[in-house]
Amino acid sequence: MQFLRKLFGSGFQTMSAAEKVGVKCRDCGHSNTISRYTPPFGTQLVCAHCNKPLLLRVNDPRERPYATSREVQLFFGYTGCSLLHARCPHCSETNYSIVIPEQAYNVSFYWNRKQENPNAAFVVNTACQHCKKAFVIEWDEDPR
């Protein structure tokens, strides 16, 4: 019994607490929690309160709409991914820091309200932080 509690009881709580890290938003001061480990593709690493990018400084997302895997590793400690700043196809607001595969910003891609190419090699589903509507980012060639 003691053994089982050790295995399933307190062990789980300790584990889930350790999987999150607190990050304070530079722009509004809101306390956010993010995963300690590389999050799934489509996750947006933004402040839950003001939608600004967490940890990274983004100057003009139209000039450079991505963060490299090296930057992601440096700021977040995540491996195997890069970040994309995409304009919502519904409301045109910028959605910062969407987790995509490493190097995926180097392969041609586009974003749409719904998947347009039924033969797309790779699709990332996400939702706008501003209008809450879902949209997709799709690659004709698999970027992974």
Q: Which residues bind Zn ion (CB under 5 A)?
A: 25, 27-28, 30, 47, 49-50, 88, 90-91, 128, 130-131
CB of 86: closest distance to Zn ion in angstroms?
Answer: 10
CB of 105: closest distance to Zn ion in angstroms?
Answer: 20
Q: Which is nearer to Zn ion, 50 or 121 (CB)?
A: 50
Distance from C-alpha of 109 to C-alpha of 65, rounded to nearest angstrom: 12
Copy the structure tokens of residue 79: 């491996």
- The DSSP element (H or E) to which 14 belongs, if any, is helix 10-18
Q: Which is nearer to Zn ion, 96 or 143 (CB)?
A: 96
CB of 135: closest distance to Zn ion in angstroms?
Answer: 8
Q: What value, to the nearest 5°, has the Cα angle with vertex 78 and ends 75 and 84?
A: 75
What does DSSP assign to residue 6?
I
Q: Which is nearer to Zn ion, 85 or 143 (CB)?
A: 85
Distance from C-alpha of 54 to C-alpha of 3, rounded to nearest angstrom: 40
CB of 34: closest distance to Zn ion in angstroms?
Answer: 13
